[in-house]
Structures are given as structure tokens and as C-alpha cells.
Chain A
Amino acid sequence: MNQHLINLKNSPCIPCNRLSILKTSNKTPYAKFWMRTQHLLIGILDLRARSGTFTTPWNIPSNPLYKIPKFKIINDSLKDLLDARAVEIYHKAKNTNKKIAVMWSGGIDSTAVLTAFLKNIPIVDQNIITVVCDTNSILENIEFYKKFISNKLTCIHYRTINLTEEFLQNYILLHGDPGDCLFGPSSPKYRHFIDRGQHLEPWKKHLNKMKELLEIPLIDPASYEPGFGEWYVNKITNNLEETGQADYLTSIVDWWFWTYYNFKWEFSCQRPFAYLRRDFTTTFSDNTIKEFAQNTFFNTEKFQQWGYSNIKKNVSKDFSLHKKEVKMYIHEFTKESNYLEYKSKLPARPANFDLIVSSPFQPVYYTKNWQGILDDSLSIQTLKVLLERYRG
């Protein structure tokens, strides 16, 4: 067996945005279907099910570090959970003599994380925090930057960071992902229903329309393959029914919540391993990978159960109230009423935008320890065979 096949058995990520270089044959539509999933997953490079059946070309099992906790309705308040988590991580950082690096995009989720620390860490200790950001972060929430970060906290430009084992020995690295999975999924995929006030109606009633909407060759006509909508909606729906969640997650919004919660969660938590690297040849120890998962701010049983419990509350009929709970938490600290009323979710920008490190040099897959493998002829051939054998 070639080394790539061995590596792929435990790969944490096979970036779907690199698959076009494989130039697969057109024997079946499924390779194209799989490649097209990247357009449903902005900023997400890998898709796998944490629960239930979901065949992929690679069939790599989900990592238990990111498992779904017991489906359970809880009554905890978001405020208490955010406060408690910040305190827990603060003590952990103090005890292990590490700094806390918060990747702040300026968006709602990462601002909530940063707010939790600013609120709960004594001012004299706030030098433990380093904000990882860029000009776009500042521009997304300029008043927050001006009042709470400028001349108060240490800032590092994210492009100057190279995520390595050593970095994670010195920092607990935090980010706002996968906030979308907790506070309400992004809207573009079901915008059609929001505009008609139908997004809280049963998905069972609108399955045909949901399929039809995914058929439109919107972003990348080249990868368009008729039947994609039918295939994708059926896959998610079958999984939702198989896991026994179809009677609880009943609306169109719930259906999309499930795509995030079950399929995007794992990579979403681990985005920095793909996006914050300057050198893909380095590796991370099993222990560091485990600690990273444990430290990932929202990757806790409680946050996940809170998201699962509050999905109905998070998305109301009026879509401007999207992510209201988390915005209220930030507002309580900043007292910025404009923010509470008008700040809306923006698509997450990839945390790494520079051309040098972007697509031409991205790995075609990562090994278990996040070493990036480039597209040599054997790695391409191996992935190509697997993708061409894929039968959906």
C-alpha cells in the first residue's frame, strides 16, 4: 500500500478546494458532486459527519476529540457559559504559564470570545491576552477596537504568525469558530426562504425547492453537475433521519443548523491548522492536537448542548435578530447599541489571504499530525483514484 493511502486513513483534512487539480474523469457525477461541496462551505475545507452515515470519497472517521455530546436540552444561559469558559481557560493559561492568543476577526463570534476574557480577567492580568488580527478585523468592528484593544492589548498581525508546535507550547490559541454552529447558521443558503418568511417552516414541505436552489450553477459553473441538489439534500436528510433528529430539527433553518453542527464542526474547530501556517512541513504532536481541541473555546459539551437547545431561539422570523443572544452578551459589556441593532453576520474571511500561501501552495491533504502534503504525482494519483471510485 502506498504511503499516501496509509496517511489518508487518518487525515484530518483533505481540502476540497484543491481537488480540481486532480482532473478526474467524468465516468460518474459523484466526483464532481463532491468537489462542488466546497461552494457550500465557505472557509471550510473538509466535510465529515460526527454522527450517522455520510459517505465521502475518503471515508475517514470523525475524530473523537470533536464528538457530538449527548443530545440534551439544557437551560444554562449563554452569558454564564461564556463567562465560565473564559475563567476556565484563563486559569489554565496561568497554571501552564501560557499566553492566550485570541484570533479576532472583528465578527460577532470572535468578539464574544474576546469580550468574555476582557470581562472576566482582572485588568492587571490582561497582558496575558494577545489579539491576533489584521486591518480587516479593525474595520469590521472599529469602535470595539478603538475602545478595548487599541493601546490596551498586545496585537499581532495574523500573517506574522506561523502556527507550529512551539507556538502552541507558548499560547492557548482561540478563535470564534464554530460560532455559526451554535448561534445560528449563515443565511445565504436559505436566503430564498428568509425573503419569503418561510425559513421556520418544515423542511419536509420544501425539500424540492431546497434541491432546486442548490442546482443553480451560481459560483463555479465549471464544476456544475446536474443532480447535485438532489444528491446533497438527500444525503443530509438521510443522515438527519438516521440519527433520530428529524423530529426535533424540523425547520429549514434546523436543517441547515444540522449541516453545520454535524458536518462542518470538526474542520471548523481546526481551521488554524490549515490557515495559520507558513510552513506546512511541520507537524504537531498528538498531545498538542488533543490540547488544542480541548482548548477550542466553543468545543465543549455545554456550548454544543446550548446551541442544540436554543436553535429555535437563535433564528427568529425577523432575520435581523440573528445571533441576538451573543450580540446581547457583547452589548452588555460595550453598551454599543448600534452594534446590537445593526451588526449582522458577514461571511468569515479565510484567516489567510496572501497569495503566496494561498491555493498554489496549499497541500492536497494533511497527515494525522497536520503535516501538509503537496501535489506530487503519487499523491495526486492516489486521491484521484479514490475520488473516481466515489459512488456518493
Chain B
Amino acid sequence: MRVSPWILAFCALAAGMASGAVVPDGKAAVAEMVIGKVDLIKAAGDTSALAQGQALDFGDRIASGIDGRVALRLANRSSARLAPNSEMSFKDPAQRKGTFIGLVKGWARFLVGSRLPGEAFEVSTDNAVAAVKGTDLEVGIEDNGSTYACVYSSEHHPALNFGDPNGTNGINLDAGQGATFDGLKFNQFQDLGPNGQPNGDRYHGLPTPGPTGDQSDANPNPNPSPNPSPVVQGNGDKLGDAIQGAVNQLNQDLQASGNQDNQDRNSDLASGRVGIDRFGYPVRMSNNLIRTAPDTVVLSTLSERTAGPNQGVTSASLTTQFNQVLPTDWLDVLKLSLTSPSNMDSKGSPIWWQIQNVFTAANPGGDNLVLTTLYSAPYLNVNAALTQDYIQDLWAYTPQVGLPSLRSAASVAPIELSDHLYYEVVSSNPNAATGILATDAALLANPTAGGSASPRGSFTEVTTQLAGGINLSFVDNFTGTQSSIISSSFSQTFHILDGQGNLQPLPGSVQSQLDAKTFGGIDALNFIGVDRSLNIETGFDVSGFFKKPIDLLVMPEIFDGFGGVLPIFSQPLCNSCG
């Protein structure tokens, strides 16, 4: 049967396509792919740029630049890949049959095809020769001059004979084994991995010859991270390097900035700048102590929610005015009590004491609660203890910011019943009005001055309007349970102020409700004993008055300043003191 020459031509073309470029007879290799700078150095010394598809003669050398790589087709269905900054020569087989490669420097990887009996495949360096029987191997010259050889896969046993050029000192290697040789001794290792060397991308971008597959993606991540790190890789050349570089730079940035962001958040949590309220909403908090005037200090706390029923800003503050200008180190003064030795003058009298407190609380709905307390000067009570008394205690509520002056019932204009609460306690103790210092001999001699059992004497209570009471509650933010309800121990009487400004008795039903909802004095804010390991949320629930509760989330210690930690804020204020 005669075969058509067209069929023969087609078969030849197909065979050529299947095996890639064909190495012409008499040639050593063909450059299948050239990346970056690769020089061709002829035996005569002429140097030119290696071009893709160019055939190489025996005796030629090729040298890759720092970004140069080249894939070569060798005879006998073998191939090679030359790494950057490497140099390879093609030796004339002369009397021997086979392929003889010289590796002058750098690294190269070989995929060796089937050979005829007696055909050799050798890779030699200055101090070693690797005689190949296997399939996939890599040879390189390390920085110290040692030759490195390893076998990735082979169906032969042994797969590689590795030793000095004289053949006097050699070892056999199988697949998965490798060794280095410095001309004198071997350093052999087992269970070779995918790349054998850390720089697994040295052939990055070159085509994968043969069935063993491209190993460029095989290098384990040298920086395993708990979070899956991006390992986006280009398939080589400059673009692939650019991609990898961009991803690496991003990872470095994310790692560095993530660390700093975590610390920023931790600092906010630790210093009480953020928290979670009992309803589960995140809260931004701000606790501050500021001297707003030479003799005045404001302790304030603000909470801001971006979601939830109390979205917006809630605030509370305690403004304390002292009897005289505070010194520069006023923080230290706040830590003093009336009886602190550091707060005593040469006569044994206190140097600093508070003369007025104004407590305010406001919710995002515009409700505003103000409690103003005026203090007497310090004096000795019946137990000869130095104390202060309040001479006026005034509560006021207004549904809008901008509290009118409510110092006395007379100053209150007639208002709608359901809108305002006004409560005032005025001491009738004549001594309290001016204060008696501890050295006041008259008071020491007659501690009950004022005509009653207490130096404060009797109280006049005037309530101008009523529609509810005030509960001071502390809520466990994590369990939602109410920890305590603080109520004052002093008695009070409520009346309705009618439209003409006259006091009217309360209906019986309302009075009974109020009996269960007594006011808390400012001393109620001293809640030492409440679980401090949790955030404490303070709610001023004035039923029927407030458009919204004043739902204030503060670090637990913030209100300690009102009566716990800072002694000067914790003077006895209730009427049972003394």
C-alpha cells in the first residue's frame, strides 16, 4: 500500500507539535521560551541575545540575567529549564553518545526522556558530575561552591549517580533523594519535596515540560498564617512577579495595620471608651474630669449609641464648686476628705470643701434632670465628727435642654401638670446657712443649736408638681437583672401645684404610688458594693415624665467619683446623718 506523502507530512507535523520544537540534527538544543535577558555566547566568544526558537550548537553557552529564564528542548525528548543568573554550556559528545551539559553557575532543572542503550545524560559542574538515569532532576551550584543534585521522580533504580568527575567518589540516588557535594564529601538527604530548594519559583513562568507538571506552585507557604493568606500567583515573567509583589505588599500592610487596629480597640475597651449596654447595643462612652473654672470641677460621662431605642447621646455630669480656688495640682485635692490631714490648716479646719453640687442628666429625647445641692460649711456634729450639711436640695426636671431657674417655688411659673416635676428641700437650720467651722466653740458647746435633735433642724418640703417618682436602678448588663434600687430614707410630702400656684393634696391613689417610688438623694449614687466587674447602667426612670429613660452606660468606677473613690465628693448628705 502506498502512503500518501500528505499523510506522512501530516504525521510528521503532528509528531513535531506533540513534542514541541524539534532539535535539528547536529544541534544541541532549541530555545523554546526566553524570558528576560538571556545571552548566547558562542565558542568563539561572540555574544548575542538568545532568541526564542533559536537553535544552539555544541560548544555554545547561554547565560541568564537576573530576571532571565529559558526553557530548552534537548535531544532525545529531553528538556531543561535554566534559572535566573545561571549559565549552561553544551558539550560536544565527541566519542560518547548522549547529552552532556555543563552547569557553570546557578540552577537548572531537567526532564530526561527515554534514551537508547548506551546513551548518557550527564550534567557536570566544576567539582561534580550527575550521571542521570532517572526522569526529573535538578542540579545547582550553591553559594559555597557545592554542587547540589536531586531527583524528583524516576522509574529507574538507581536514578542518579552523583560524584566527582573522576568517578572515584560517588553515590547513587533514588527518586525523592538529593545530596550536595563539595568535591570531598557528600551531604545526603531523603524524602525530597517538590522543589528540593527553597527558591521554588526560579523557573517561574517557563512552560512545564513533560508529564511531571509545573512545580512552581508547589512550594509550601513559608509563612503559614492562621488566616488563609492570599497566594495569588501569576504564571511567571515580569507580570507574575509584579502580581506577587503587590500581594505580598498588601499582606504586609494588612498584618501591620491589623495589629495596630487591634491594640486601638483594646485600649478603648480597657479605658471604658466603648461597651455593650444591657440591650446589646454598642455604646461609645466618654468619661471626663475637667476643671472648668478656678474653683469648679466637672465630672462628666456621656454615652452615644448608633442604634437601639436610645440612639443618640445621653449624658450626666456633676459640677462641684469649691470654697476657694483650687491649686494647680487640683487632682490631689479631689482625693482628700474633710478630715484628711492634708486638708487641714494650722487651726485644724478644712482647707477645701464643696459648697455646691449640680448634677445633671439628659437623654437623647431632650429630657433633662437637674439636682442642685447647696452645702453648709463644715461643722462638728453631735458625735463631734466633722461633716457638712446641705442647706438646699433641689430637683428639677424639664423636657427640654435649657433648664429655667427653679430655686424656689415662687420662681416657678404655672405650668402644665403633666410636664414638670419640681422638688425642693430647704433646711431651716440657722447654722447651716452660714456654716460653722470645726473650731466654732459655740457649736461644740451646743451641737443641737437650731432647736431640734439634729443641728440641721427641721425641713420644709415643698413639692410643686407631681406625676411620678424617681427610681435609681443599677442593671447587670450581662444578665439583665436589676442589681439594686436605691431609695432615700428621708421622708417627703408631695403636692400638686394647681394652675393658680396653690398647693393641692394628692389623690389617694397617686400618693400610694409615690410611697413606693421615693426619691433618691445624691447619696444614692454611692453604690459601692455593686458588682464592679460589670458595666453598670444607670437609669433614671421617672414614669410619665421622661420621653425616654436616661439610659446611661458608664464604667462602674465613674460614679464612684460621686461618692466612693473621691472622698471629697462623698460627704454625708442624707438627713439621717449626724
Chains A and B are bound partners: no
Measuring CB to CB, which residues of chain A are less than 8 angstroms from any residue of chain B?
Answer: none
Please report B residues at the A interface, Cβ cutoff 8 Å: none
